[in-house]
Amino acid sequence: MSSTIENDIGNFYDASSQLWEKIWGEHMHHGYYGRAGNQKIDRRLAQINLIEKLLKWANINTAKNILDVGCGIGGSTLYLAEKFQANGVGITLSQMQASRGKERAIEAGLESRVEFQVANALNMPFADNTFDFVWSLESGEHMADKVKFLEECYRVLQPGGTFVMATWCHRSTNSLAGELTSQEKKLLEDIYRVYCLPFVISLQEYEAIAGLDCGFQDIKTDDWSMAVAPFWDVVIDSALDLNAIQGLIDSGWKTVEAALSLGLMTKGYQTGLIRFGLLTGKKL
């Protein structure tokens, strides 16, 4: 990951995370609204549902040492550590997020079992075979080297351990739809600029990397785009609430731009360009 995109990501979340927490709560990821996306439920419950559905989908029933790659302010890290009575480590490029995660661990009484660090997911500060469960919820899209990202997740995973990832993807290009059009590429470029993303790839490309480049076994993938797409309309409503306007202004132009551009993701889902891809695999 280049120092420029790395710094951009860290600065973006340093500036915006306090506001996102105020508006959205501790979970900074999509919600699950039923497989067809037609369940009318509270946004925060939908976010918890996404975690639980992912665990069930990947058949995760227990864990002892958890790594949360791209942990935000610790929503998943703390939830998983408490659920499984496990030790947990969350890593992020944002000093603000790591500090807030530590505060939230203390508030939850989990500071003896959960820690947060500022660390690069492409060069993790952990020994080989450290964790029995590696979790990445909507962080893969920020990785400038997708192969290195999955290689690192594989390296730190213990033999017999499980990796679970959910990430933003673009549609497959190995179908009747063909290669990405110029209009689709333009929409992706706008999304990249607003949300500090280097690029996204298709779920099929992730699957090939996980198996051929990294050695994951028992790989399973799925596409939950319909299940999570309603999240963006809910987010738009909350971000443009009068109570959020001053916070947006105080957080700086980059945060304002992100809030004003939320419709880009809605358009991406509506046109089928943006996909919500899932991948799980084991290290044998």
pLDDT 10s per residue in the chain (284 long)?
446 899 999 999 998 898 888 777 899 899 999 999 999 999 899 999 999 999 999 999 999 999 999 999 999 999 999 999 999 999 999 999 999 999 999 999 999 999 999 999 999 999 999 999 999 999 999 999 999 999 999 999 999 999 999 999 999 999 888 999 999 999 999 999 999 999 999 999 999 999 999 999 999 999 999 999 999 888 777 666 656 666 656 777 677 777 767 889 999 999 999 999 999 999 99
What digits encode the pLDDT tens for the residues 221-274?
A: 999 999 999 998 887 776 666 566 666 567 776 777 777 678 899 999 999 999
Sequential DSSP letters for the chain: --HHHHHHHHHHHHHHHHHHHHHH-S--S-----TTS-----HHHHHHHHHHHHHHHTT----SEEEEES-TTSHHHHHHHHHHT-EEEEEES-HHHHHHHHHHHHHTT-TTTEEEEE--TTS-SS-TT-EEEEEEES-GGG-S-HHHHHHHHHHHEEEEEEEEEEEEEE--SSSTT-SPPHHHHHHHHHHHHHHT-S----HHHHHHIIIIII--EEEEEEE-HHHHTTHHHHHHHHHTSHHHHHHHHHH-HHHHHHHHTTHHHHHHHHTT-EEEEEEEEE--
State residue 257's pLDDT score. 77
Q: What is the rounded distance in angstroms from the CA atom of residue 270 to the CA atom of residue 102?
A: 38
Query: 131 near 101, Cβ under 8 Å?
Result: no
Q: What is the rounded distance in angstroms from the CA atom of residue 180 to the CA atom of residue 163?
A: 29
Is there a domain that residue 195 lies in? yes
Domain range holding 199? 3-279
Q: Domain with 241 in it: what CATH number? A: 3.40.50.150
Q: What is the rounded distance in angstroms from the CA atom of residue 280 to the CA atom of residue 59?
A: 10
For 239, counting Cβ atoms within 10 Å of its Cβ (0-12 exposed, 13-18 middle, 19+ buried), the class is: buried
Is there a domain that residue 50 lies in? yes
Q: What is the dihedral of CA 16, 115, 57, 278, to 10 degrees?
A: 50
Q: What is the rounded distance in angstroms from the CA atom of residue 229 to the CA atom of residue 148?
A: 29
State residue 247's pLDDT score. 67
State residue 1's pLDDT score. 43
State residue 253's pLDDT score. 65
Furthest-apart CA pair in the chain: how many Å?
53
Is there a domain that residue 284 lies in? no
Is there a domain that residue 96 lies in? yes
State residue 175's pLDDT score. 86
Q: What's the pTM?
A: 0.94
Tally of structural domains, the chain: 1
Q: What is the rounded distance in angstroms from the CA atom of residue 263 to the CA atom of residue 25?
A: 21
